[in-house]
Structure 1
Amino acid sequence: MDFKIEHTWDGFPVKHEPVFVRLNPGDRGMMMEVSAPFFNDPPSPLGEPGKPFNQLWDYEVVEAFFLNDITEQYLEVELCPHGQHLVLLLSGRRNVWKQGLDLSFKVSRGEAKWEGSAFIPWSYFPPNVTKFNLFAIHGSKDERSYEALYPVPQHELQQGQKPDFHRLEYFKSFSFNTLLGEKWNQPESDLWLIEKPDV
């Protein structure tokens, strides 16, 4: 599955080479490969490369969201060209349930481009992923740029509206069965088991 982020969050064409993302599912999980312009703005977070970094969305990142639109459970994976990452499990819009999970993530970087490869275990995905979106962020202050694979349609924009990547209603249909076949079932995950209170 190949995707290009060609629009800003509000539907205007990006003014640079689009961010390219390839999703390649396998037996134990999915490989997410990124090829993107390197802006180096903002500068690198102070966190160690290869480790989770909280609030990575304040830096230069590419993000993938995988949603079950019935339960509103979703996985958010953020990848930074400097090597840091952030994995969030959310149950309900913006309701972070688990965060800072480990991720196997490797980056190579040139002056104008970066490439990253992250392995996401099946256990990180919510049961029955049905929808999906991709985002990219770079720039500082007034030059901050927010980009989306599936942007908010321009006719639905409201005056003064700000970018919000948790507008789940704008995600589009997505199924791993497209690549893995109709008979494939997503492995169950202990991470998503919500403990029931004792009766």
Structure 2
Amino acid sequence: MAASKLEYEIASTWNGGVLHDLTKRARISLRADESGSCLLLEVNAFFYNDPAPPSVQAGQPCPALWEYEVVEAFFLGSSEQYLEIELCPHGQHLVLLLRGVRQCFKNELPLEFTSEITDSRWCGVAKIPLNYFPPDVSKFSAYAIHGSEPDRQYESLYPVPQHAFKQPDFHRLEYFQEIDICSLFSSWPTVNVFGQE
């Protein structure tokens, strides 16, 4: 029987510092849509409104979205193939497919994504087609980024060890942790866009 939902809370800085203010931690949940053909990625996060929103229209892909306020989810499959999803409180998104560390071969894929800002929080729901996922998805990580330099903040679900690295790098695949994403679905597609050029 399929699991109903997987839930996560980003409670650390990128290198293991604890985020003590519980109200400001970003939360992510994953579940199947009604058709069973898409993953619903739901975000509930504190809204910092820093930096200013991208100039790209809400609902559209935004290049270099990682430079803005975002919550990101990475799904790792076999042979260092992975899917990166970036979601912005203002409604922009970015979907990247990678073969090898930072080796993007497709980006700005279409994505059904809606977001809403209410007082000091924002919520968003992205509907991710299952054929966007790499073969044999088994590991996962998530991140939240906000603020402007020199005070930009990088937060991680699975941080790297303190003092191991000098700069945040969310493509350190060796620190991703296990996920049983297939448990959310009664069946998983055998065809995906990683096999297409």
TM-score (norm 1): 0.90
**Is 1:189 paired with 2:174?**
no
* Structure 2: gaps of 5 or more residues: 1-5
Q: 2:59 is matched with which residue?
A: 50
Q: 1:81 is matched with which residue?
A: 89
| Aligned partner of 2:26 among 16, 19, 26 | 19
Mapped partners of 1:79, 1:56: distance in 2: 8
SS in 1 for 2:94: strand
**Is 1:126 paired with 2:140?**
no
Mapped partners of 2:187, 2:121: distance in 1: 36
Deviation by residue 1:70-100 (Cα, 9 ceiling, x = unmatched): 3100000000000000000000000001000
Letter in 1 for 2:139: K
Q: 1:164 is matched with which residue?
A: 169
Deviation by residue 1:92-128 (Cα, 9 ceiling, x = unmatched): 0000010000110011102311000010000110011
- Checking the alignment, whether the CA contact within 8 Å between 1:83 and 1:106 is kept in structure 2 is yes
Deviation by residue 1:32-91 (Cα, 9 ceiling, x = unmatched): 0000000000010000000000000000000000001x3100000000000000000000
Mapped partners of 1:37, 1:7: distance in 2: 14
SS in 1 for 2:57: coil
SS in 2 for 1:123: helix
Mapped partners of 1:192, 1:138: distance in 2: 30
| Aligned partner of 2:8 among 3, 7, 10 | 3
Mapped partners of 1:88, 1:21: distance in 2: 19
Mapped partners of 1:15, 1:145: distance in 2: 14
Q: CA deviation at 1:13?
A: 1.1
Q: 1:41 is matched with which residue?
A: 50
SS in 2 for 1:143: coil
Deviation by residue 1:130-152 (Cα, 9 ceiling, x = unmatched): 10000000000011000000000
Runs of 4+ in 1 over 4 A off after TM superposition: none
Q: 2:73 is matched with which residue?
A: 64
Mapped partners of 2:119, 2:86: distance in 1: 21
- Checking the alignment, whether the CA contact within 8 Å between 2:132 and 2:192 is kept in structure 1 is no
Q: CA deviation at 1:19?
A: 0.2
Structure with greater Cα Rg = 1
C-alpha RMSD of the superposition = 1.4
SS in 1 for 2:124: strand
Letter in 2 for 1:121: P
- Checking the alignment, whether the CA contact within 8 Å between 2:102 and 2:171 is kept in structure 1 is yes
Q: CA deviation at 1:15?
A: 4.6
Aligned length: 188
Mapped partners of 2:192, 2:38: distance in 1: 15
Q: 1:101 is matched with which residue?
A: 109
